[in-house]
A and B are shown apart, each in its own frame.
Chain A
Amino acid sequence: MAEEAVFDLVHMEAVSYVFQGEKISEDEAVAKLEHMGFATGYRLVERLTRESGRFKDELDIMKYICKDLWVTVYKKQIDNLRTNHQGVYVLHDNRFRFLSRMAAGKQYLQYAPRYLAFTCGLVRGCLANLGITCVVTAEVTQLPACKFQIQVQRG
Chain B
Amino acid sequence: MAVSGNYYFAIVGHQDNPMFEMEFVPTNKEPKKEDHRHLNQFIAHAALDLVDESMWTTTSMYLRLVDKFNEWYVSAFVTAGRIRLICLHDVKNDDGIKNFFMEMYETYIKHSMNPFYVPNSPIKSAAFEKKALFYGRKYLTG
Which chain A residues have a beta carbon within 8 Å of chain B's beta carbons? 42-43, 45-47, 49-50, 52-56, 129-131
Contacts and interface: CB of A to CB of B under 8 A. Distances in A.
Interface of B: 55, 58-61, 78-83, 105-106, 109, 112-113, 119
B59 A53 contact: yes
Nearest to A131: B82
B109 A130 contact: no
Most chain A CB inside 10 Å of its own CB: which residue of B80, B106, B119: B80
A46 B108 CA distance: 9
15 contacts: A46-B81, A46-B83, A46-B109, A46-B112, A50-B106, A53-B59, A54-B55, A54-B59, A54-B61, A54-B78, A54-B79, A55-B80, A56-B59, A129-B82, A130-B81
Nearest to B119: A42
B12 to A, nearest CB: 14
Contacts, number: 45
Contacts of B105: 50
Nearest to B108: A46
A43 B80 contact: no
Contacts of B119: 42-43, 46, 129
Q: Give the interface SS of chain B, mostly helix, strand, loop or mixed.
A: loop
Residue with the greatest number of chain B CB neighbours at <10 A, chosen from A43, A49, A130, A131? A43
Contacts of A50: 105-106, 109
B76 to A, nearest CB: 12
A152 to B, nearest CB: 16
B81 A49 contact: yes
Given A42-B119, A43-B119, A52 B113 contact: no
A55 to B, nearest CB: 7
A53 B78 CA distance: 10
B114 to A, nearest CB: 9
Contacts of A54: 55, 58-61, 78-80
Contacts of B78: 54
B46 to A, nearest CB: 22
